[in-house]
Amino acid sequence: MIDLVKKNVHTTEVRVRYAETDQMGVVYYSNYLVWFEIARTEFFRARGVVYRKIEEEDKIYLPVVESYCRYRAPVKYDDVVTINTELTEMGSTRIAFSYEVKVGDKVTTIGETKHAFVNASGSPIPVPEKIRSLLSNS
């Protein structure tokens, strides 16, 4: 059963580095997934969940099992992008996020990622209650 989570948003800013652009000076498409990871990690951190700790201490991992990205407008070198990350679903063993990338007030990109909670051997595990509570009560 999947619980829909009420508006649970975190905002992260990233300045576009030259290395993230292609020959045309536009951000290369795969970099958006990197930004999603940065934003998601900061979403967790802001709620008291540190990825590194849950991996090292609890041996819990959150691999991406599905991703989606829709590019609406180009982003260029030195732009400051704002990434709004929202927790959209939390099931018994999975979690989902949506992302909105903006330059100023203009939405340039939207995306989603879905993750499974797994143990060190890669087997699905229930979302730990402590993590569920920290993520959904913000």
The segments of the chain whose pLDDT lies below 70 read 1-7, 137-138
The active-site residue out of 3, 22, 58, 79 is 22
pLDDT score recorded for residue 71: 97
- Residues 18 and 120: their CA atoms lie apart, in Å, by 36
pTM score = 0.90
Q: 3-136 belongs to which homologous superfamily?
A: Hotdog Thioesterase (3.10.129.10)
pLDDT score recorded for residue 26: 97
pLDDT score recorded for residue 8: 83
Q: Are the C-beta atoms of residues 85 and 10 closer than 8 Å to each other? A: yes
pLDDT score recorded for residue 7: 64
- Give catalytic status of residue 79 as yes or no: no
- Residues 87 and 101: their CA atoms lie apart, in Å, by 15
- Residues 112 and 3: their CA atoms lie apart, in Å, by 17
pLDDT score recorded for residue 137: 65
